[in-house]
């Protein structure tokens, strides 16, 4: 971040080099902070972590949604997209040894997972246990075929 004020130092003054180095430090800090901002939001708990595992017969999706209630979580199907959305509300109040703490955090989220095939909503199962939402999406029969091993001939 360059200063808006003109430098009071001459270009031969060693303080000018220090001023330039400090500008670089602030530039690097601003660049790092701005590029990590979405990740910082995820670490604060607004955007849940998602794991997608593909097996031969199904796709398994797990979302970390700690301390959420059924009424706060929605799972929707649109074509070949599975969407997990919800609103996270957390309120904490403590009174200990003269310290008083009251924290609140609120935030909504939506994650869309493209599966590459049309999803039959009647075949999906979902379970919420110990803060993890696990969704089991069976693949259509034509995608469940066993993989065939192809022999590779090596020539020297």
Q: Is the pTM of this model over 0.85?
A: no
d(CA 52, CA 56): 13
- Helices then strands, each counted (H, E), the chain: 1, 7
143 — pLDDT class (breaks 50, 70, 90): confident
Which structural domains are found in the chain, ordered by start? 14-92+104-143 (2.60.40.790)
Residue 149 has pLDDT above 60, yes or no: yes
Selected residue with higher pLDDT from 142 and 110 = 110
Residue 116 has pLDDT above 50, yes or no: yes
**Mean pLDDT in the chain?**
76
DSSP for 49-62, please give it.
Answer: -EEEEE-SSEEEEE
Per residue in 45-86, pLDDT (tens digit) is 468 899 999 888 899 999 998 888 888 999 999 888 999 999
CA distances from 11 to 14, 18, 58 (A): 8, 11, 67
CA distances from 61 to 3, 8, 52, 124, 134 (A): 49, 60, 5, 11, 6
Per residue in 8-38, pLDDT (tens digit) is 445 555 555 555 666 666 666 555 554 444 4
């Amino acid at each position: 971040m360059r200063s808006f004020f003109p430098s009071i130092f001459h270009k031969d003054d060693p303080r000018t080099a220090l001023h330039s180095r400090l500008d670089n430090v602030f530039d690097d800090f601003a660049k790092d902070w701005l590029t990590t901002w979405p990740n910082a939001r995820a670490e604060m708990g607004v955007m849940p972590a998602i794991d997608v595992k593909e097996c031969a017969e199904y796709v398994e999706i797990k979302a970390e949604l700690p301390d959420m209630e059924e009424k706060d979580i929605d799972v929707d199907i649109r074509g070949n997209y599975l969407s997990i959305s919800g609103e996270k509300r957390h309120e904490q109040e403590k009174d200990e040894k003269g310290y008083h703490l009251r924290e609140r955090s609120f935030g909504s989220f939506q994650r869309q997972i493209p599966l590459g095939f049309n999803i039959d909503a009647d075949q999906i199962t979902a379970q919420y246990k110990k803060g993890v939402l696990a969704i089991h999406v069976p693949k259509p029969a034509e995608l469940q075929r066993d993989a065939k091993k192809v022999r590779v001939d090596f020539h020297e």
